[in-house]
Amino acid sequence: MRRRKEGGGRGAGGCRAVVRRWARRGGKPTRFFLSCSRRLPVPECVLAMFREEELEEKRDDSSRHGGRVRCFPHERGNWATHVYLPYQAQEEFLELLELLASHARTYVPSLTTMEEFHVSLSQSVVLRYHWINPFMQSLKEHLASFHRFFCVADRVKVYTNQNKTRTFVGLEVSTGHFQLLELVSEVDKVMEEYDLPVFFKDPSFHISMAWCIGDLRGSLEGQCLQELQDIVDRFEDSARILRVQWEQIRCKSGNKFFSFPLR
């Protein structure tokens, strides 16, 4: 009886072996699956994985987002992941943002306002595709006992990212720091399960409001920073609009979003 060559069967293991050989020769996995679909049905979840990764590769283009560059290059199977508290900006907050940005542009004309707002609870890390669901399940379990709480974010501060390629103007949290540290502690435990970087030591929790390319702290700190703080302090109802109730934690992984409501 003839022996079937290793990896040559039509089962899942054989298919994977053929895919690996196909990929080593520069072939697209989606093309392979389409070419062999008459012989071996491919689960939709597998095809979806490759479609999503190809979409993510197209988005990895700095010309599409103001020259911003990834902290790490996109690789097939790797998904940039970030845990945070989302902030839904109200009209009054956007009015304050425009006042701050307009004044700061007299020092740094290239400053751009943020379109979405949040407080980070993790660094941006890399997850393998097959880790996403168990990672989210672990987050859900670690965060299940937390209740809603308030923070006050009313101190203007200037930040840069780790590699100093971008500068941010943000509102630092002055009240609610302890609760945020408790959340970070649980998120860090999940990161450690997957041997991923934990959050920064002694973090400055903040809501980023505007950004620019490069390290421009020298232009935004000092006189500019004091003037921005004066605008916040004098803004009508600033005490009310800068007191934020957090109701959910969110995690973004690639183009997927996961929400974890607080009790």
Q: Centre a 10 Å sphere on the Cβ of residue 4 and count the other Cβ atoms it contains.
A: 10
Which one from 82, 130, 147, 206 is the annotated catalytic residue?
206
Decide if 74 is catalytic.
no
What tokens does 173 get? 């949290």
- Indicate the helix (H) or strand (E) that contains 179: helix 177-193
Q: What are the backbone dihedrals phi and psi of residue 198, each rounded to the nearest 5 degrees, phi first?
A: -85, 180
Nearest to 210 by CA among 199, 219, 201: 219
Separation between Cα atoms, residue 251 and residue 254, nearest integer Å: 10
Decide if 147 is catalytic.
no
What tokens does 28 get? 């697209």
DSSP-derived letter for residue 64 is G
**Residue 67 region by backbone torsions, left for phi larger than 0, else alpha for psi between -120 and 50, else beta:** left
Which one from 82, 103, 118, 177 is the annotated catalytic residue?
118
- Indicate the helix (H) or strand (E) that contains 258: strand 256-261
Active site members:
118, 206
